Each structure stands twice: as structure tokens, then as C-alpha cells.
Structure 1
Amino acid sequence: MSAFYSLWRHRGLLRSLAWRDIASRYKGSTIGLLWALITPLLMLGIYTAVFSGIFQARWGQDGGPIEYAQQLFVGLIIHGLAAECLSRSPVLMMSNSSYVKRVVFPLQLLPIVTLSSALFHFIISLVVLIVFYAIVNQTIPLLGLLYSPFVLLPYLVWLMGISFLLAGLGVYFRDINQIMGLITMILLFLSPVFYPASMLPDHLQDIFLFNPLTLIIEQMRTVLLDGGAPDWGLLGLYSVGAALMLLVGTWAFKKMRGGFADVL
């Protein structure tokens, strides 16, 4: 609880650091933050052109190429949110060693800054998807937009916990940064990004649910693209696991942070 109180007490600093992290990506570019909008637009346009015009891909039995592009885009932005947190968290303390060694600084803000930056780009991509969906289907998935925060919240809690854990471990085990690059690539293909989970054999579907991305990708597709309601039971179980991950992550970070300055 003291960790969460510290986050609330430094919310102004957190907001400033998150905005600086976002802006630093586009520093020096001609159009600046517009790249945050142009990039997902280009991605969705390319996926739609490739899978509808070249591969004639289908989603399931009845889905067409346009639907395939939308379903694929949902999986990619969910995976991209995790990939950014997993790849950046192990080097957070090393990248901000001045905060660790020279000044009194609430280090627990740094993993939240990374998550906030990733969430900013995720929301822009999500807006692009919603606009594309509205153009194609002549309707806006209002109910899906209402359900989406309930699907995303436990996922963000899980990402926060794993970010704290990796931020601490990355100081002592430098190879974690390389390992995370491989893990994010493995997650891309072992998550239902390019295919629906229903295509998996029955004996593998339960195993794939242990992948923290599987349920969130499938539920986001259900509420946004299929117009259905989320599975509250599975989301409840996921929320319990996410809360445990957050507790473990914050506890481990607190235990490890005492040695950061000596190691760095």
C-alpha cells in the first residue's frame, strides 16, 4: 500500500515523466507526435492490402480478408503493448542510472512511466481500429467500447507487475534484456495473433490459456469486433492472477532496489 500511496503522491511527476518519454521518441522529427498516428494507420493499411489483396486470407469459415485484417490488428496491438513493457523494463534502471545513484528519486515511477508510454500508443492504435471498423461496418461498437476497459484493466495490472519484476532483475542479470527479445517474439507466434484460438486442437486450448495474452486478445476481439460480452468468469480468474503478479513484482522490486546503486 505504501508503494501505491507513493505513486499517488508523485502523480504530477509521473505525468511529466510519461509525457517526456513519449515526446522524446519523436524529438527532432519534422511532424513530431503525428508519427504516433501515422504509424498505426500505415500498419492497418498495409495489413488490409496484403491480406485482402494478395493472400485473400479468411478469418474462420465466414470471415473475409477485411475482417482478417481487423482481427489481426487487435492481436498485434495487444502484443505490442506487452512487447514494449517486456523489452524496456529490464534496462530501466541502467538507462536512468543518474536517478539511482545521484538523487533521491522514487524509482518505482519508472516502470509505470514505461507502461504509460506504451498505453498511449496502444490507445492511438485502438482509435485507428475503431474508425476503420466504423467505416467498414457503418456503425460504432459502443457496447464494445464500454466493455474494453474491463478487459484491459487486469492486463495492465499484470503488465505493471511484470514490469516491476523485470526492472529489478535486469540490474543484476543483464542477460534478461536479450532473453526478453526472444520471449516477445515467441509470444507473437504462441498467442492467437495470426489465428483464432478456436483453431487450436482441443487438448491445447486449455494450455494456451496460461499464456497471459491469449485471453485478453480473444476477449478484446469478442467485445470490439464480434459485439459480444466478455467472459466475466475467466476475466475474474485472470484478475486474481494479475493481482498476484503485481504483488510479487512490487515486493521483489522493493527488496532489490537497495542494491541498485552498488551494482550500477
Structure 2
Amino acid sequence: MQRHSASPASLMRSMIKNRRLLFDLARRDAVGRYKGSVLGIFWSLLTPLLMLTVYTLVFSEVFKSRWQNGGAQASKAEFAVVLFSGMILFNLFAECIGRAPTLILTNSNFVKKIVFPLEILPCVNLFSALFHGTVSLIILLVTEWIVRGSVPWTALLIPLIVAPLCLFILGVSWFLAATGVFLRDIGQTIGIVITAMMFLSPVFYSITSLPHRFQVLVYLNPMTFPIEQGRNVLIWGQSISWQYWIVYSIACILCAWLGFAWFQRTRGGFADVV
């Protein structure tokens, strides 16, 4: 069985060497899902707009929900913006993780090709999700400017929030993609796990609205930090909590390395199973 290097240097070399292939596959994946539809790529703009409309109607009109921040209560439109900001970051995670367990199985034709860099498949998945996330982010900022009259300068810090989150997503994706080849039940249960994580993440509610004994559990959720910090920089105009950002980034780097190491260690057996 051929041994594949699990060092970060080998990963960087592979991504640089195959950067054209990586971006071509990501573009094909991002655009290909709309192939044959009447509106085409316009769906990438229409979908988040529809989501924002539904969130506004359901949570502000049906559930009469309001968002408390520093004692001030957000309006209906502001609540939709706050909610949507959390959903953008969580959807980035959910889209990648939801596809990860079957990533190798659905690209089994690549497994038989010795020269194909299988390790870039989770990266392709991530870049495709980032495209849709960027479109949603633009819609969010435009809506925020219309609703609130301005966008805080701290919104420029959002890439620093997304970067460690991407490393975390890659680490989990590499692990699930490799494990999903041998344990295919993961593909059947991952949807349940993602749904549970969504409701255990501060997407639809503020952490401060929870009883103190439950707040600790929510903080242990790896999606809590990027959602809370992303909302702070995009909506409330607050800077990043740098000390927590450093700890979170180190944890995400470790997660990415462990996931990649597991992928490289097990990839030699993919062809036998697929």
C-alpha cells in the first residue's frame, strides 16, 4: 500500500501544483448545480433572497421574535438581518459537512486514477460553498445598509472569522470523506447531526437569552465562536475577541492537520472498497 505524506507542506505543494484543477472543479461544482434550469446562476442570488424573506416572515411575524443586544431590542427587519448573518456561516459549514461523507464515493472515477490528487476534493467542496456564501454575504450587507442605514467598518474583519472556520471545515471534511468510504452509515446520519448542531448553535437565539447552565454547553459547540463573532463584526460593529480568536484558530489548525493525516493514512484502501 502506497504511503502518502500527511505533512502540511505536502498539502500546500499539492494545492499549489493543482491550483488550476482545484479552481476549475470548484467553478464547475458551483455553476453545475444550476445547469439546465431556466434562471441558471441567478439562483445563487435568488435563493438567499428567498431565505431572508422567509426568516423575516416566520420569526418576526409568526413567532414574534426579537433580538436583544445591550438592552436594545432589534426591529423586525433588523432581526431578519441578525438571523441571516448566523445562517450564512452555519450554511457554509452545513453544505460542506453534509456532502463530505459521500465525497469519495460520488467521485469514485477519480479514485482509480493514481495521478489524481484526491486530497483536494474537500477543498473543491469548500470553495464551491464559499462562492454561495459570498453571494449571501453581499445580500446581507446590502440589506443591512438599507435597514440600518450603514454597515460597520468591522465588517472588513469577516475574512479573519471565516479563515479558521474553513480550516475546521476542511479537517472535519477530510475525516468524514475518508471514514465514509468504509462506514457508509455516516452518510445517512450526517443530516441529523447537522440539524442538531444548527439548533445547538446561536443562530436563532442569543446566548445571553439561555439559562446560565446551558450557555456552557453552547460555548462548547465549535460553530458558536464564528457565528457570534461574525455577528459582532457584521452587525454590531464590535471587533474580534482576539484572545479567543487565537485559541480558536490554533484548535482549527490542529483539526485540519488531524483530518488530513487521517485522510492520507486511509486513502490507500479507497480503491479496494470503492
Q: Is the 8 A contact 1:91 1:171 kept in 2?
A: yes
Return 5+ residue gaps in structure 2 as ranges: 1-8
2:258 aligned partner:
248
* Aligned partner of 2:223 among 213, 231, 237: 213
2:44 aligned partner:
36
Give distance in 2, aligned partners of 1:197 and 1:54.
Answer: 22
Give distance in 1, aligned partners of 2:198 and 2:28.
Answer: 29
1:84 aligned partner:
95
Q: Is the 8 A contact 1:100 1:107 kept in 2?
A: yes
SS at match of 1:140: coil
Give the letter for the 1:44 counterpart: L
Cα RMSD (Å): 1.3
TM-score by length of 1: 0.96
SS at match of 1:212: coil
Return 5+ residue gaps in structure 1 as ranges: none
Give distance in 1, aligned partners of 2:54 and 2:163.
Answer: 29
Q: Is the 8 A contact 1:57 1:64 kept in 2?
A: no
Which one has more relative contact order, counting CA pairs under 8 Å at least 6 apart? 2
Distance apart, 1:54 and its partner CA: 3.7
Alignment of 1:30-179 (within 5 A): 30-60=38-68, 62-141=73-152, 143-179=153-189
Give distance in 2, aligned partners of 1:23 and 1:176.
Answer: 27
SS at match of 1:225: helix
Deviations 1:202-244 (A, max 9, x none): 2332332221111111111111110111111111111111011
Give distance in 2, aligned partners of 1:26 and 1:103.
Answer: 31
TM-score by length of 2: 0.93
The answer to whether the aligner puts 1:27 opposite 2:35 as a matched pair is: yes
Q: Is the 8 A contact 2:122 2:173 kept in 1?
A: yes
Give the letter for the 2:151 counterpart: I
Residues paired across the two proteins, number: 263
Deviations 1:175-228 (A, max 9, x none): 111121111000111111110011122233233222111111111111111011
Give distance in 2, aligned partners of 1:95 and 1:16.
Answer: 18
